[in-house]
Amino acid sequence: MSKQAKKVPSVAYFCMEFGLDPSFPIYSGGLGILAGDYLKAAYDDGYPIVGVGILWRKGYTSQYVDDSGYPYDLSPEYNFDFLKDTGVKVEVSIKNNPVTLKVWLAEHFNNAPLYLLDADLPENKEPWLTHSLYRGNHDDRIAQEIILGIGGIRALRALGLDIDLYHFNEGHAVLAGIELIREKMMAGLQFEQALQATRREIVFTTHTPVPAGNESHHHGALSYVGAYNGLTYEQMNRIGGDPFNMTVAGLRLSTLTNAVSQLHGETAQQMWQHVTDCSPIIAITNGVHQGTWQDPKMQEALLSGTSLFAPHQENKQRLLAEIQFKTGHVLDPETLLIGFARRAATYKRGDLIFRDRAELLPLLQNRQVQLVFSGKAHPQDHEGKQLVANLVALAKEFPGQVIFLENYDMTLGKLLTRGCDVWLNNPRRPMEASGTSGMKAAMNGVLNFSTLDGWWVEGCQHGVNGWQFGDAYIGDGQDEHDLNALYRTLKEQIIPTYYQDRPKWESMMKASIQSGTTDFSARRMVREYYNRMYQVVAAPQAKIS
């Protein structure tokens, strides 16, 4: 793959979703965007990495808002004619039926090679298994995880790729570990020997600090669908417990696990401390791909010492033009624009700023702030959809001052993280594992305004490159505490600085770009993966602690 390939371990990176480009919507949100940025950073620096995923022919969901203001989902079928046919097919067993998987290659987005498995073939009884990401019933999810994990290992073998380490990005991929164990047992090892040998080939990334977000399956369903893959109940229970928890399995199948921010490392260690025989959890903070997310003009202005505000205002005008095109509303380019855009999950508290009307109304009436929101809810997440509906209703209540942009995707994400003045984030602590949208904003001089959760605990220099509010309070009344702190910081620091101290605002933009680019890039993240995980695990003297 490169001159570095002989010096460093070759890695196969398994993930259920990859966000490489708006034209290739096989991602749902942050997990996929991270995976796409990882492959691009690996390509930039010539690391011997390949991705393994699934070709979701209908993507995730296109989510729009009906006349009542409630979101609905569409699943168009996409044409991915830019993919390369590898000529390779592999087979897995699902519900005792053979399923053939075609292997495609995606590599023209300046990314490390990404191999994608496709069950949409005429010989398969259930070709729709690889149609839609995170859709279908419980058995369908297990079948998709068989395709990713077991099918992914078989695809790597059929492609003839020499892989040193397998990196499972979230628990969806752990059935690849079951296939690696099966291979070794077929070669003559006993189960425990095969398990220990397999662990020396695997590293694992855990993302979700919400207990309910860590997927588990009943053993009856695993056995019925085919996830046992030749192993026994006792052996599968040894790996993932009963019920079979995919995160627990990842912890027990790997030599090292990483959390995705320093705070998340502490949370994950505490969260999984009851799990026996699991790998140590270290913290490697996420990063974003500079070439994808940063406007080059912002970096040029920073390096040349010219005004950052001028290129920022160009980006703001592009965002305002898109808002006008989509909603008909004309926003003022001179008024402070606060943006909030991310997956519509209730713990992210997308409507927090609206919970004190007495504070908000004067700011809107006096034209001191404008608010723009965007986000998708999972098609089956009714609470998340209700949150979207609430934001849509608020946009109707405050036309031209509060905006909601439907069908949040990479294109909108890029416009928003470049064109807003302030990036608002207020998750209920400590439930945000990382939160990479703020990193994209930081790289573009959009100043973060966030509770101290996820990456912002490390990134925040209050009043220098952005602002925090809430002082990391965790406990009873957190919502009210944070709401009061939000308005205090907004009224006493952010608004006065924006309107009355432009030199300070520009100096904060400069500090934001510098810290974002240096500390929170995908290039730094991949380098850290190699230095702290891959090379450590691949070393001959590596021991499991």
Distances (CA, A) of 223 to 139, 177, 343: 11, 16, 33
How confident is the model at residue 543, as a pLDDT? 55
Band (542; pLDDT cuts 50, 70, 90): low
Q: Which residues contact 353 (CB under 8 A, 6 or more apart)?
A: 338, 340, 360, 371, 424, 426, 483, 486
Supply the pTM of this predicted model: 0.95
> How does pLDDT run across 173-190, given as a tens digit for each residue?
999 999 999 999 999 999
Q: Strands 336-341, 369-374: parallel, antiparallel or unpaired by DSSP? A: parallel
Exposure on the CB side of residue 432, measured as CA atoms within 13 A: 30
| Residue 45 parent element (H or E) | none
Cα 264 from Cα 271, distance rounded (Å): 10
pLDDT at 140 over 60: yes
Encoded amino acid at 399, one letter:
P
Check whether 212 has a pLDDT greater than 80. Answer: no
What Å distances lie between residue 157 and 91, 105, 187, CA to CA?
12, 15, 15
- Strands 165-169 vs 447-450: parallel, antiparallel or unpaired: unpaired
Q: Where are the beta strands (DSSP E) in 286-390?
A: 336-341, 369-374
pLDDT of residue 5: 41
Domains of the chain (ranges, CATH numbers):
3-288+524-538 (3.40.50.2000), 290-520 (3.40.50.2000)
Q: At what angle do helices 309-327 and 410-419 cross, to 10 degrees?
A: 130
**Beta bridge partners of residue 282, listed in sequence order:** 258
Task: Say if strands 49-54 and 422-425 run parallel, antiparallel, or are unpaired.
Answer: unpaired
Residue 60 tokens, joined: 């995730």
pLDDT at 545: 46
Rounded to whole angstroms, how far apart are CA atoms 190 and 288? Answer: 42
Give residue 232's pLDDT: 98
Give the chain's mean pLDDT.
95
Residue, of 40 and 344, whose pLDDT is higher: 40
State the average pLDDT over residues 93-116. Answer: 97
Dist CA 40 CA 20 (whole Å): 8
- % residues pLDDT > 70 (the chain): 98
Please say if the pLDDT value at position 211 is more than 80.
no
pLDDT at 345: 87
Instruction: Tell me the DSSP string of 114-138.
Output: EEEEE---TT-S-GGGGTSTT-S-H
Rounded to the nearest 10 degrees, what angle do helices 138-159 and 175-186 cross at? 50
Query: Is 117 a residue whose pLDDT tops 80?
Result: yes
> What are φ and ψ of residue 54, in 5° steps?
-125, 140
The span from the CA of 425 to the CA of 342, in Å, is 9
- Report percent pLDDT > 90 for the chain: 93
Q: Is the dihedral of CA 351, 352, 354, 355 positive or negative?
A: positive
Contacts of 37 (CB under 8 A, 6+ apart): 19, 287, 288, 289, 292, 293, 436, 522
| pLDDT number for residue 1 | 44
Kind and range of the H or E element at 364? Answer: helix 357-365
511-530 pLDDT, tens digit each:
999 999 999 999 999 999 99
pLDDT of residue 403: 98
Rounded to an integer, what distance in angstroms lies between the CA atom of residue 528 and that of residue 522?
10
Q: For the residues 380-396, what does the mean pLDDT come to?
A: 94
The helix or strand, by DSSP H or E, that contains position 44, with its residue range, turns out to be: helix 30-44
Q: Is the predicted pLDDT of residue 124 greater than 60, yes or no? A: yes
Q: pLDDT tens-digit profile of 219-257?
A: 999 999 999 999 999 999 999 999 999 999 999 999 999
